[in-house]
Structure 1
Amino acid sequence: MRVTTLTMMHMSVFLLLVSSASASHYYGGFLTFTPKGLNPDGSLTVEILYREAYRICFPYQTWYCYSGNCGITTRSVTGQIASYSGPSYSWCQLETILIKNVPTDSPFEMREASCCWIYAPNNNAQWNLFAHIDLGTRSDTGKPNSSPVTTILPAIRVPQNCQRELKLLAHDPDADVVRCRYGILPNIECGTCYQHPDFFLDENSCTLTHFPTAITGTHVFELVLEDYPEQSIGVSHRDGTQLPRYPWTSYSQTTTSSPWQWFTSTTTSTPWQWFTSTTTSTPWQWFTSTTTSMPWLATTTISPPSNALSSIPLQFIVQVDQSVPSCADGEYLPMFQSPTPEHGKIIYAAVNYELAIKVKAAARFSTLTNIFISGPLNITKVVNANGNTAEAVIKWTPGSDGFGEHFPVCFVAESVLGSSFYNSEMRCVVIVVGHTTGEATVSCNEMTMTVEIEKASIPGLNDGFVRLKDPLCTLMSNSTHIIGTMSLNTCGTEIEEDDESIIFKNEIVSFENTSTIITRTSELNIGFSCKYPKKGKASFSFTVHKPPYVFTENGFGTFAYQFELFTDRLFNSMVDPSAYPPQVNLGEMIYMQIAATSPILNTVLYVDSCRATPYDDPNYPVFYSIIENGCIVDNTVVVYENNNTMYKFGMEAFKFIGLHERVYITCSVILCEAGNHTRCSQGCVNGTATPAPHYRRRRAAITETSSHFISQGP
C-alpha cells in the first residue's frame, strides 16, 4: 500500500511538471505566515504571504494543501513588487497574500512544485517549495506561532574573484532562534537539493559566503528557514495532542525525548510515514546513501529535517560574474553610506502614516544605475542616480490590516562599468507596524523647526524618555507640552525633494530605560516636517554655507552653536556665506571659530573632537583626525582662543588623496555647567591615559548636554 501511495505521488508530480514545462523560468520564492486571531465560529484566520519571481510578470503557479486541513481562502491579493532587466537575466517578483480560515489548529503543510528553474549548473530544472504550519497554542506566549520573516532579491551578483557575504534576513516575530539550512527532501522541499561546495552556509547566522573558486554563471539555492524556542515549550491543540518543542542546542537523535521520533510514526495520516520504509525503492535510501555520484551528497552527509516550530522555504539565485579589478567596497562594487540603515535594523511605523527610508550608495570607479528593493505591496521608491552615487527614498504607508505585523524590506545597489555590472551587499530591515502616534504642532522658519506635543494627547507618555531621530537630541518638557527646536540640518533631520518642494523631516520617538527589563509605557513615533517651495516668492534661499545649529535639551533649554570660517587670525572678518565653498591653497592656514549661545549663564563650551571628511558625514570611513578626546592630533593646529563660549583655531589646508576635491570639517561639541565635574572639566584625554568614565546625566542634576556634531564646508 505504501509503495502504491508513493508511486501515485511521484506520478502526480511528474504530470504537474509536464503540464508546466512551458512556464516562464523561475528565479525563486518563499512563504511566511502570520496567525490573525480566532473567529466567532471557532475557526482561525491565518495570513499566508508568498513571493515568487519569474522571467516575466505572471503568477504561473499556486500553492496547494499537501497534508492536514489547510482551510479555505477567503481573500487573495497579488501584485508586482520588484523587477529587473539586464544583460544576464530579467526577472519580476510578485507577492500574493492569502487570508485563510482554518477550522482546526492542528498542523498542516502546503506545497508548490513545477518546472522550470532558469538554467543553472547542478540543477535539473524542477523546483519545489514546502511549508510546515502549526497553529497550536504555545505554552510560553499563549498564542499560535508565527513563522520567521524574510525576503530577498531574486538574483544577487557576486564577482568571481571576491569573497562575498550574503546576509539573509531571518527575523522572528516571537523572538525565536532562526536557523537556515539547505533543503534535503527531494521533490518535497527542493529539486536536486544541491549543496554548493564553493559557498558556505552558516546555519546559525544565516550568512551565505561565496568563495573565489565558484565557476561563473547562475547558481540555484534551495534553503529552508526554521524557528526554535529559546527554552523547552509545548504546543497544544484542540484535539488533545501536545507537541514538545526544544531549543536547537538540546536536540539529540539518541534520546527518547528527541523531536526526531516523529519521523518513525506509522500513522497513515502523516506524510512522513514513508520514511520508515526499508525497501530500496523508497526515497529514504537517498539520505543514507554514501554514493558520491549523487550531487546532494557532494559535500556532506544529509540528515532528515528537524522538528522545528515551523518550516518555510527561501529560494533564490546567485549570479557569479567575471572578475572585478578590486574587491574593496566603494571602488567598483557599490558601498552603502549614511543614512542607509544597517542590516537587520527594526524600523517602527504607524498605521496610515507614511514611512520613508533613505538609502545611499557610492562607488569611485563605476557608475551607479539603480537601487532595487523587495518589500510589501504598494511600497514605492524614488531613485536619483548621478554618476558615482545613487540615493533612493523608499516610502510605504501601512494599512490597518498590517497592525502588529513585521514586514521585511531588502535592497541592493547596482553599478556598471562598460559591460560589467556590480552589486553592493544586500541589506534588509524589518518594519514593525502598530506604535502609538500623536499630533505634533510644527512651526518653521528659514533656519529652524520647532515642534510641540500636548502631553494629554498621549496617555501614559513618559516624557523623560523621548528624543528626536538622533539619539543625542533630547527634548524640553513643561507641565503641559514636550517642546523641541532644531536647525534644519541637525538631530537626524532628513531632506527630501520633489519637483515642487524641499522637505525637512524628523520624528519624535520613545526609548527604553536600560536599567529595567520591562516597560509599562507605549512606544511613541510621531513624524513632523517643514515643507518649503522651490518656486515662487520665498523669504530665504538655500546655500552651501551651514547656518547655526540649534538644539533643545531638558535642563539647558534651546541653545545654538555657530561654526564659521574667517579670513585671518584676527577673526575680524567672517567668510561671506555667498562665497561658499571657499577656495584655499594647500598649506595655507584656514581659520575656524565655534561659538555657543545658551540661555543658561555660566556655561562652558568643550570641543571634544574634530575630523575632516570628503563628504558631509562624520561617520564616513575616509577621514582625517584633527582633535580627538579633546587632544590636538594634527601638528599644524593652533588654538587662538578657548573661553567659556568661544573656540578659535586654525590649521594648514590639505586635500584627500584621490578624486576627492572637497573637505568638510565636523566637530563634536558639548555644553556644560561651569564648576561641575563633567566631560568639559576633564580636558584632553589621550590614548595612553586611563580612559575617563562616561558620565551619564541624571535627570535630577543635568550638568552637561549630549555631544552634538556640527560641520562647516566644503
Structure 2
Amino acid sequence: MASTTVLLLQLVLVSLASASHHYGGMATYTYKGRNTDGSFNVDFRRRSTYSGCSSHHSWYCVVSGHCAPFTYEKGTIESNSIWCETELLSTIKVVNDKPFNMRAHSCCWVNTRNLVSNWYLLTLIDLGMRSDTREPNRSPDVSIIPYLRIPQNCPRTYKLMAFDPDGDRVRCRYGNIPTHECHQCSLPGGFTLDQDSCMLHYNSTTHHSSVFGFEMVVEDFPKNHISLTYSDRSRRSVTPLNLIHPVPLSKLPLQFSVRVESSAPSCQEGVYLPQFINPTPANGARVQAVLNKEMEIIVKAQVSMGRIQAIHVSGPMNISKHTNAHNEFVIKWTPLHNDLGDHYPICFVVDALHQSRVYQSEMRCVLVDITATQVKSHVICTETTMTVMVEKASFPRLHQDHLRLSDPTNTVCSLQTHSNSTHVIGVFPLNACGTQVEEDNDFLYFKNEITPFDNTADVITRKHLLEVQFYCQYPKRGNVTQGFLAHRTNVTVWDKGFGTFTYQFEFYPDNQFHTMIDPISYPLEYDLGSRIYMQIEATSSVSNTELFVESCKASPYDNPNYSQTYSIIENGCKVDPTVVIHPSSDVKEFQFSIEAFKFIGLHDQVYISCSLMMCEAGNSNTRCSQGCINSTSPAKRRKREAIIQSAHHFVSQGPLRLHRSAESPEATGTWNLNLNLVFIVGCLLAAVGMVCGVALYKAKVSKVKYQPLPHLEN
C-alpha cells in the first residue's frame, strides 16, 4: 500500500512538473455545418505555449454530454530555445446550437512577476442563427506572439489582432472571474489596456528575468440590437456594447507572457530595436490566399547596431518560415479545403542581436482571407525551361491575345506560339521573359507571371482582371545520385514545379573525349596503371558561367566522408602525381585522367567523388578564378558583394575494379567492378544559383543579389 501511495505521489509530481512551463494559450471556433441527426459540427482551435512542444491544454465541455470531439489534429507553429507554440484542432460534435462553454485549467505558469500560477481558459460558443446575417454566429479571430520582450526604458504599444467576420465590435478586456478566466485577475503594473481598441500600452516598470503573465479575454458585441434563434425555436436578444451590462456573443481566452528587460541604449527603431521596412506588410493588412495554393508574406527589418537574427511567428497550423537571399524572412502557408471562407491572423516579431543582447521589434499582424481557386493552371519545370498552362475556361472574359509574360519582348516569350483552343501555354527559358531569380538557404526560385494588357507598349495596367504567378523551385545543395523531373499541378497563385539542373560524370575511352563509354557496356574494368579518362559536365541554359572542380578523392565506399580516402585533387591542386588535367574549350566541362589503382587490403572497389561549384565566368572575385590554392599561396581578400558563385556540390562515380589476371595474384578476386553509373543529375541548384541569376543579376541588380559563402571568406 505504501509503495502504491509513493507511486501515485510520483505521478502527481511528474504531472505537475510537465505542466509547470506554461507561457500562454488561446482558442477560437468556427461553425462547420449540421449533421443529419440534428447535431452541429464546430472546429475548435486552441493554441498552447510551453517551454517544450510535448505539452498542450486539455479542454472539456462544461455541460456533460453536450459535445465530444470526433477528429483531432496537432501541429507545431513555432519552436525556439525559449518557448514552443502548438495548435490542436478538433471538430466537435454538439447536440444543439445553444450557447455552451469549453474550459481548460491546471497548474502552472512559468515563474511570473505578477504571481500568476494556475491557468484558467474559458470559451463561450454560440451557434445561434443571427437576425442580421441570417447565418450562424461566428467567433472573432485573435492571435498574438505568446512571448514578447520589451526594454525597460522603451514605451511600446501592441495592437492585438482581433477581427470579427460578422462585423461585430470586438473588446479586449482583462479577465475578471477568478478560477474561470484568470488567477490574479489584475493587469500588471506598468501596463494600460484600451479595451475598445484592443491596444496594450507598456509605459514603465523595472526589469526582471521573469515574465508577466497576461490573462485577457476577447469578446464580440453586435453594433445594433440583434436576436439569435436556435434549433429548438428559442431566442435570445443581444445588445450593443455601449449599453449597460451587455452580454457578449462569444468569449475567447487570450493569455501570453511579456518580459521587461534591461534598458536599451536607444529606443529609436532601426538602431538597436529592429525596424520593419518595405516590403513588410502593415499591421492589420488583409492578405488573400487561395485554396491549396502556397501563399507568401515577405518580412524585412533593419538595425544599424547589431544584426537581424530571427523571426517569430504565430499563425495557423503548418505555417513555415525561411530566409531568402535578400535578407528577408518569408512566411509561407497553404490553406486546405476545410479553410475555405475562414480568416486566419498571422502575427510576427523580429529579433536583432547586438553583442549578447537580444532586442525585439514591434509586433505586426495580418489577416489572411481564404478564397476558392479562380484560375486553373499547371506548371512543369525542366533543367532549362519553364512551361505554364492555363485553362481558358477558367477566365472566359480574357483572350490570349491580351495576356503576356512579365517581359514579352523576345519572340520566345510569346504566349501565342504554343497555345491551343483550351489552354494558354508558355514555354520559355529559365533566364528569359522577365523571370526573377530569388534564393534562400535551400532553394533557388525562378518566378514569372501572366498578366493582362490592352496595348503591347503598356508597362502598367489598372485593369487587374487576372494574375497567374508561378515559379520553378530547385534544390541548391546536397549529394545527388539520381535525377528527377516532377511538378505540382493545378496551382494558380503560386504555381510551383520541381526540376533539376544536371552535373554529368562520365568515363571515356581516350583523351579525345568524343564519345562516352556506353552504360550498357558496364561494368568497366581496368589494368593497374592504365589510364582512366573522366569528364564532369554542367548543363545550364544560362551563359557566362564556368565549372570549377575544387577537390576529388577516392574511397572504397560511395561515401566521400568515409574515414579511409585517397586525395586526387585538393583545393584545386593536383595531389595524385598521375593526374592529368586535359584542356577543354568549354568552361562548363572538366576533363581529367589518372592511373588505375586499388586500396590495399580486402577492399575490391573504388569510388571517385568530386566537390564542385559554379561561378560567373570572368569574375576575378570568385573561388573559380583563384584556381589552385596551396599552403604557400597568398590569401586573396574578396569583396563580399561582388561574388557570384554557388555552394559546393558532390558528384560520385563507381565502383571501379581491376581486370582479373592469373599473372597478377594481387588482382585475383579483387575489384568486383560493378560500375554502377550513378548518373548524377540533380539540380544542384546552387551551382546554378549564382549562375542562373547572372543574366538577371546584371539587369536587375537591385532585386537579385548573391552573397559569398561564409566558409569562403578570408
TM-score w.r.t. the length of structure 2 is: 0.57
Letter in 2 for 1:226: E
- Relative to 1, partners in 2 of residues 1:68 and 1:157: Cα closer, same or farther, differing over 3 Å? same
Q: 1:418: Cα distance to partner?
A: 2.2
Structure 2 residue 188 is the aligned partner of structure 1 residue 158: no
In structure 1, the partner of 2:203 is: 211
Match of 1:431 among 368, 374, 381: 368
- Relative to 1, partners in 2 of residues 1:183 and 1:486: Cα closer, same or farther, differing over 3 Å? farther
Match of 1:134 among 113, 126, 130: 126
Match of 1:40 among 32, 36, 40: 36
Distance across 1 between alignment mates of 2:285 and 2:401 = 24
In structure 1, the partner of 2:73 is: 77
In structure 2, the partner of 1:600 is: none
Letter in 2 for 1:403: L
Distance across 2 between alignment mates of 1:94 and 1:355 = 21
Distance across 2 between alignment mates of 1:180 and 1:430 = 18
Letter in 1 for 2:366: V
Contact 1:413/1:423, CA 8 A, preserved across alignment: yes
Indicate the RMSD between aligned Cα atoms, in angstroms: 4.4
In structure 1, the partner of 2:540 is: 538
Q: 1:106: Cα distance to partner?
A: 0.6
Distance across 2 between alignment mates of 1:411 and 1:127 = 24
Contact 1:137/1:144, CA 8 A, preserved across alignment: yes
In structure 1, the partner of 2:469 is: 527
Structure 2 residue 312 is the aligned partner of structure 1 residue 372: yes
Structure 2 residue 311 is the aligned partner of structure 1 residue 319: no
Question: SS at the partner of 1:401?
Answer: helix
Structure 2: segments with no counterpart, 5+ residues = 1-11, 407-413, 454-463, 475-499, 503-537, 546-616, 622-640, 642-699, 706-714
Q: 1:152: Cα distance to partner?
A: 2.0
Distance across 1 between alignment mates of 2:399 and 2:114 = 58
Mapping 1:170-209, distance limit 5 Å:
170-209=162-201
Q: 1:462: Cα distance to partner?
A: 11
- Relative to 1, partners in 2 of residues 1:480 and 1:60: Cα closer, same or farther, differing over 3 Å? closer
In structure 2, the partner of 1:220 is: 213
- Relative to 1, partners in 2 of residues 1:495 and 1:107: Cα closer, same or farther, differing over 3 Å? same
Contact 1:131/1:313, CA 8 A, preserved across alignment: yes
Structure 1: segments with no counterpart, 5+ residues = 1-15, 254-259, 261-305, 470-474, 511-521, 544-576, 582-614, 616-708
Q: Per-residue CA shift, 1:236-287, capped at 9, x if unaligned? A: 1123321222332xx332xxxxxx3xxxxxxxxxxxxxxxxxxxxxxxxxxx
In structure 1, the partner of 2:61 is: 65
Structure 2 residue 232 is the aligned partner of structure 1 residue 232: no
Q: Per-residue CA shift, 1:87-137, capped at 9, x if unaligned? A: xxx211111001111110110001111111111222241111111110111
Contact 2:70/2:90, CA 8 A, preserved across alignment: yes
- Relative to 1, partners in 2 of residues 1:244 and 1:505: Cα closer, same or farther, differing over 3 Å? farther
In structure 2, the partner of 1:252 is: 243
Q: 1:227: Cα distance to partner?
A: 1.3
- Relative to 1, partners in 2 of residues 1:20 and 1:443: Cα closer, same or farther, differing over 3 Å? closer
In structure 2, the partner of 1:636 is: none
Letter in 2 for 1:59: S
Q: 1:339: Cα distance to partner?
A: 2.0
Contact 1:439/1:526, CA 8 A, preserved across alignment: no
Q: Per-residue CA shift, 1:35-78, capped at 9, x if unaligned? A: 00111111110000000111222235311222476411111112
Structure 2 residue 345 is the aligned partner of structure 1 residue 343: no
Letter in 2 for 1:337: I
Structure 2 residue 48 is the aligned partner of structure 1 residue 52: yes
Distance across 1 between alignment mates of 2:398 and 2:443 = 37
- Relative to 1, partners in 2 of residues 1:182 and 1:143: Cα closer, same or farther, differing over 3 Å? same
- Relative to 1, partners in 2 of residues 1:133 and 1:335: Cα closer, same or farther, differing over 3 Å? same
Distance across 2 between alignment mates of 1:176 and 1:381 = 32
In structure 1, the partner of 2:332 is: 395
In structure 2, the partner of 1:560 is: none
The structure that has the greater radius of gyration is 2
Mean Cα deviation higher: 481-490 or 427-436: 481-490
Q: 1:357: Cα distance to partner?
A: 2.2
Letter in 2 for 1:457: S
Distance across 2 between alignment mates of 1:230 and 1:488 = 54
In structure 2, the partner of 1:357 is: 297
Mapping 1:412-431, distance limit 5 Å:
412-431=349-368
Distance across 2 between alignment mates of 1:476 and 1:207 = 51
Contact 2:445/2:471, CA 8 A, preserved across alignment: no
How many correspondences in the alignment? 466
Question: SS at the partner of 1:329?
Answer: coil
Letter in 2 for 1:419: S
Distance across 2 between alignment mates of 1:713 and 1:529 = 15
Letter in 2 for 1:426: M
Mapping 1:559-638, distance limit 5 Å:
none
- Relative to 1, partners in 2 of residues 1:507 and 1:351: Cα closer, same or farther, differing over 3 Å? farther
Distance across 1 between alignment mates of 2:157 and 2:432 = 34
Distance across 1 between alignment mates of 2:58 and 2:247 = 26
Contact 1:68/1:108, CA 8 A, preserved across alignment: no
- Relative to 1, partners in 2 of residues 1:82 and 1:22: Cα closer, same or farther, differing over 3 Å? closer
Question: SS at the partner of 2:268?
Answer: coil
Question: SS at the partner of 2:359?
Answer: strand
